[in-house]
A and B are shown apart, each in its own frame.
Chain A
Amino acid sequence: MNTPIETAADFHPRTITRPERVLLQYYIVTSALTIVLFPFVFLPQYVKYRTLRYRFDDEGISMAWGLLWRKEINLTYRRIQDIHLTRNLIERWMGLSTVSVQTASGSSGAEMSIVGITRSGELRDWLYTKMRGARGLETPAPAPAEHQESPPHSPDDEALVLLREIRDELRQLAQDQGAAQ
């Protein structure tokens, strides 16, 4: 049931820790387009590029950057609401794109924008497979049937334990009474 959805075999997001170098080039080009403002636009972007760290683990993503003003975002895959992949013209020329991940928070903007990944289409698909609903209802469908078929000896069934205790007490009582007579 869960097998058919698969992303590229040689794509391992867990190994991603840094944005790729092409992101710096992208920042240079876009800041250069502002001509006079270049130093003011480029400096924060350069800092972001140098300090940006990703961590894709079993449960979720964390992303941190900043030198003077540090910022860190953590989210779990299961709470992803929707994924947006955005590519403008310059990003397309450089093989980049922005993967924006949304959770159910109040803001209308993206909670996390993953930049500087060239294989972003694959990253998007990989995140999609981790998202809720992508593989259907994972646990409950087979579970209830199992419960009804093979219930008797689940040790943590409190009602059953209680009933057995009552039975044993009664049995003891019956034996005692029988012996007394």
Chain B
Amino acid sequence: MKTPVDHASQWIYKGVWAVLVGLFNVPKQPPSHLSDSAATLQTFHPAHGFLRLLRLQFWLILTFIDGLLLAAWVIVFFKVSHTLAYLISPVVLFVMVAPDIVAYVAIYLRYDTTWYVLSDRSMRLRRGVWIIREATITFENVQNVSIRQGPIQRIFGISNLVVETAGGGGERRAHGHHHAQPASMHAGLIEGIDNPAELRELIMQRVRASKSAGLGDEHHLPQNVLAGSTGWMPAHLEVLREIRHLVVALRGIN
């Protein structure tokens, strides 16, 4: 059942998107990505639980701030003067409502502009509205994959997957910061997904398959190891048999 309010908000949201796409060049399509075959390419947003979590955060913060503002207004009304309270009421009302609408729209924008594209070899992660960032990481370069889930995230059934490549760099932003940026440019954050184990398996499979350290080393190593370990080829055995034969012959002579 859709109420008129739903319709109106959808209409407004579409308008916001039209402005973003038309004026601010925000791409509406997911990022393109190169892949061996289009069939293995999966493109998705964060899970729906992520949106619900953001909405819950929004309502909690809204209740808190608007509660404070209302309390301040009530204090003015009873303790200072009625006229002043009436005079400032439009301002207070505006401050209470306007940022909320912006923030609420921003939640949906944040969700809709976050894209994860995975191929069987690599991934491309896009986030951002004003500053759009796209990270491309091949799984072969991945050093470790970690799954992080807080208590509230658990309630909503979502986790963050952090994919790290080699190279350091301090954590520039604190853990669990509101914007949850990756710790450094050497990490890819896949935020708010409901199938982290599956994704981890996909990536770790690739990491395990790679014989190198993921630091740009060439693939010569396996070949050398092979040549050393399975040393005896049919040609060697043939010559060895000849040698044995000759030794036997020599013994016979003596």
Interface residues of A (CB under 8 A from B): 4-7, 76, 78-89, 92-93, 100, 102-110, 121, 124-125, 128-129, 131-140, 143-144, 147-148, 151-153, 157, 159-160, 163-164, 166-167, 170-171, 173-174, 177-178, 181
* Segment among B42-50, B95-103, B184-192 that sits at the interface with chain A: B184-192
**Residue in A93, A143, A147, A167 whose beta carbon sits within 8 Å of that of B243 in the complex:** A167
Q: How far is the CA of A153 from the CA of B238 in the complex (A)?
A: 13
**For residue B135, which residues in chain A have a CB less than 8 angstroms away from its CB?**
82-84
Known: A81-B137, A167-B246, A174-B253; 13 extra A-B contacts, CB below 8 A, are A81-B214, A87-B131, A106-B169, A108-B168, A124-B136, A133-B206, A139-B219, A147-B226, A160-B233, A160-B239, A163-B240, A174-B246, A174-B250
For residue B212, which residue of chain A has the nearest CB? A132
* Contact of B239 with A167 in the complex, beta carbons under 8 Å: yes
Q: How far is the CA of A125 from the CA of B117 in the complex (A)?
A: 14
Report the minimum CB–CB distance from B113 to chain A (whole Å).
12
Report the minimum CB–CB distance from A75 to chain B (whole Å).
9
Give 8 pairs: A residue, B residue, CB < 8 Å, sorted on A.
A102-B186, A105-B168, A133-B138, A135-B121, A164-B239, A174-B249, A174-B253, A177-B253
**For residue A6, which residues in chain B have a CB less than 8 angstroms away from its CB?**
34
Chain B count of residues within 8 A CB distance of the other chain: 65
Which of B136, B214, B227, B233 is most buried by chain A, counting CB atoms within 10 A of its CB? B136
Given contacts A76-B216, A181-B253, whether A82 and B185 have CB atoms under 8 Å apart is: yes
**Residue in A7, A152, A164 whose beta carbon sits within 8 Å of that of B233 in the complex:** A152
Q: How far is the CA of A152 from the CA of B169 in the complex (A)?
A: 51
User: Which of chain B's residues 147-186 have a Cβ closer than 8 Å to chain A?
Assistant: 165-170, 172, 183-186
* Contact of A129 with B168 in the complex, beta carbons under 8 Å: no
* Contact of A86 with B132 in the complex, beta carbons under 8 Å: yes
**Residue in B34, B165, B209, B210 whose beta carbon sits within 8 Å of that of A82 in the complex:** B165
**Residue in B131, B169, B211 whose beta carbon sits within 8 Å of that of A140 in the complex:** B211
